[in-house]
């Protein structure tokens, strides 16, 4: 069955292994499945819910696009653009904000996490950005959205808005309630220093993550220093319970090899981690090094990246503008 897929990634800059294995690798696989239509967006409007340096933001938009392309995303097969190029996203978001209910937004746990203790100083944009996310998706009649566990709540909000709009204006399936595409394995790559925390750019220790621009020596050094425990690698998966660091490293290896973790345990069960880490480093270097080279090559040609994004923006705008015109006609504009 064909799927129309939409997903967005914030332009944070310096993307890491967690972004690659948890999202980008999956985007490429979805792109290469027959009959899928894929739209991938660098969501720069979402980024400004927190204060951004303008020059750094521009560079991060290009770097995110470069990382997508270097990882295998093909602009001739998928639409790749940055959100601010398509005015319909902002216009659609305002219209949908008049459909969404305050109670729905009050239940969004990510706002509470990102705003921290001092919610009074958080931007309005941070509070309402799940509505912009809903507009992002529904302007393209997306049927499926790749999401992690932390985004499922936002997709439920999107579905609620679609159903309310369709009911309020008596239009059957005008706004398409999207289905989640949840990556069953290896969607959450954890810190190399603490298996209970997600791998993150914001972690103070660079040793906690593999950056997609790391060189071979850095990758080897980080894996060598990655936290494990004193026990050998287990033979059965149930023995990984309460061993988060071991499970994380084995999961990374399994994802790189496109195999189940059980297969990795067959390969390394009973062995010590020093031998396994050598193999894991080799796999990471083999996968990451070509991506790193291509990212750097693309970043040396910012005009080319801007042209790719602008071209994708034109394609996206043709779809989204048409949907917003229909939306406005339905509500009486």
Query: Which CATH fold topology does 4-188+302-331 show?
Result: Rossmann fold (3.40.50)
Q: Is the pLDDT of residue 54 over 80?
A: yes
Q: Is the pLDDT of residue 297 over 90?
A: yes
DSSP per residue, 260-319? -HHHHHHHHTTS-HHHHHHHHHHHHHHHHHHHHHHHHHHHT-HHHHHHHHHHHHHHHHHH
123 and 47 Cβ atoms separated by less than 8 Å: no
Where does the pLDDT of residue 121 fall: very low under 50, low under 70, confident under 90, or very high at 90 and above? confident
How many CA atoms lie less than 13 Å away from 196 in the CB half-sphere?
1
201 part of the active site: yes
pLDDT digits (tens, 9 = 90+) for 236-266: 989 898 999 999 999 999 999 999 999 999 9
Rounded Cα distance between 116 and 112, Å, is 6
- The predicted pLDDT at position 13 comes to 83
Q: Tell me the helix, strand and coil percentages in the chain, rounded to 5.
A: 60, 10, 35
Where does the pLDDT of residue 14 fall: very low under 50, low under 70, confident under 90, or very high at 90 and above? confident
Say which residue, 150 or 263, is predicted with more confidence. Answer: 263
Burial (CB count within 10 angstroms: exposed 0-12, middle 13-18, buried 19+), residue 192: buried
Q: Is the pLDDT of residue 149 over 80?
A: no
Q: In sequence order, what are the residues at sequence separation of 6 or more whose Cβ sits closer than 8 angstroms to the Cβ of residue 49?
A: 123, 125, 126, 129
Rounded Cα distance between 44 and 49, Å, is 9
pLDDT digits (tens, 9 = 90+) for 266-292: 999 999 999 999 999 999 999 999 999
198 part of the active site: yes
- Backbone φ and ψ for 134, nearest 5 degrees, come out as -65, -40
- The predicted pLDDT at position 2 comes to 82
pLDDT digits (tens, 9 = 90+) for 71-100: 999 999 999 999 999 999 999 999 999 999
Q: Is the pLDDT of residue 151 over 80?
A: no
**3, 164, 201, 216: which one is catalytic?**
201
- The predicted pLDDT at position 182 comes to 83
Return the domain boundaries, the chain: 4-188+302-331, 206-297
- The predicted pLDDT at position 206 comes to 94
Q: pTM for the whole thing? A: 0.92
pLDDT digits (tens, 9 = 90+) for 174-229: 999 999 998 777 778 999 999 999 999 889 999 999 999 999 999 999 999 999 98
- The predicted pLDDT at position 171 comes to 96
Mean pLDDT for all residues in the chain? 93
**58, 164, 198, 257: which one is catalytic?**
198
- The predicted pLDDT at position 333 comes to 95
Q: Is the pLDDT of residue 159 over 90?
A: yes
Give the CA angle between residues 97, 141, 328 to the nearest 5°: 50
- The predicted pLDDT at position 61 comes to 98
170 part of the active site: no
DSSP-derived letter for residue 326 is H
- The predicted pLDDT at position 123 comes to 87
How many CA atoms lie less than 13 Å away from 226 in the CB half-sphere?
30
The domain made up of 206-297 is a member of CATH 1.10.150.120 = no
**3, 114, 216, 227: which one is catalytic?**
114
């Amino acid at each position: 069955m064909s799927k129309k897929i939409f997903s967005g990634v914030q332009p944070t800059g310096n993307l890491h292994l967690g972004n690659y294995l948890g999202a980008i690798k999956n985007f490429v696989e979805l792109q290469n499945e027959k009959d899928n239509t894929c739209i991938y967006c660098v969501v720069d409007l979402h980024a400004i819910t927190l204060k951004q340096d303008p020059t750094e933001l521009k560079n991060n938009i290009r770097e995110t696009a470069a990382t997508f392309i270097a990882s295998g995303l093909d602009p001739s097969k998928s639409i790749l653009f940055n959100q601010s190029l398509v005015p319909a996203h902002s216009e659609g978001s305002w219209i949908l904000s008049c459909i969404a209910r305050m109670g729905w937004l009050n239940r969004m746990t990510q706002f509470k996490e990102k705003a921290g203790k001092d919610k009074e100083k958080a931007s309005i944009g941070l509070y309402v950005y799940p509505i912009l996310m809903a507009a992002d998706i529904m302007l393209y009649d997306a049927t499926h959205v790749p999401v992690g566990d932390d985004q499922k709540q936002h997709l439920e909000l999107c579905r609620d808005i679609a159903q309310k709009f369709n009911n309020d204006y008596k239009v059957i399936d005008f706004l398409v309630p999207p289905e989640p595409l949840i990556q069953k394995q290896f969607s959450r790559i954890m810190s190399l220093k603490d298996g209970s925390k997600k791998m993150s750019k914001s972690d103070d220790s660079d040793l906690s993550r593999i950056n997609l621009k790391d060189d071979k020596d850095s990758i080897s050094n980080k894996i060598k220093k990655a936290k494990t425990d004193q026990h050998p690698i287990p033979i059965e998966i149930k023995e990984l319970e309460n061993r988060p660091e071991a499970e994380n490293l084995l999961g990374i290896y399994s994802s790189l090899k496109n195999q189940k973790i059980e297969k990795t345990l067959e390969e390394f069960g009973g062995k010590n981690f020093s031998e396994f880490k050598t193999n894991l480093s080799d796999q990471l270097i083999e996968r990451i090094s070509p991506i790193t080279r291509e990212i750097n090559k693309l970043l040396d040609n910012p005009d080319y990246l801007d042209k790719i994004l602008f071209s994708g923006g034109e394609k996206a705008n043709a779809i989204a503008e048409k949907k917003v015109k229909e939306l406005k006609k339905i509500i009486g504009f």
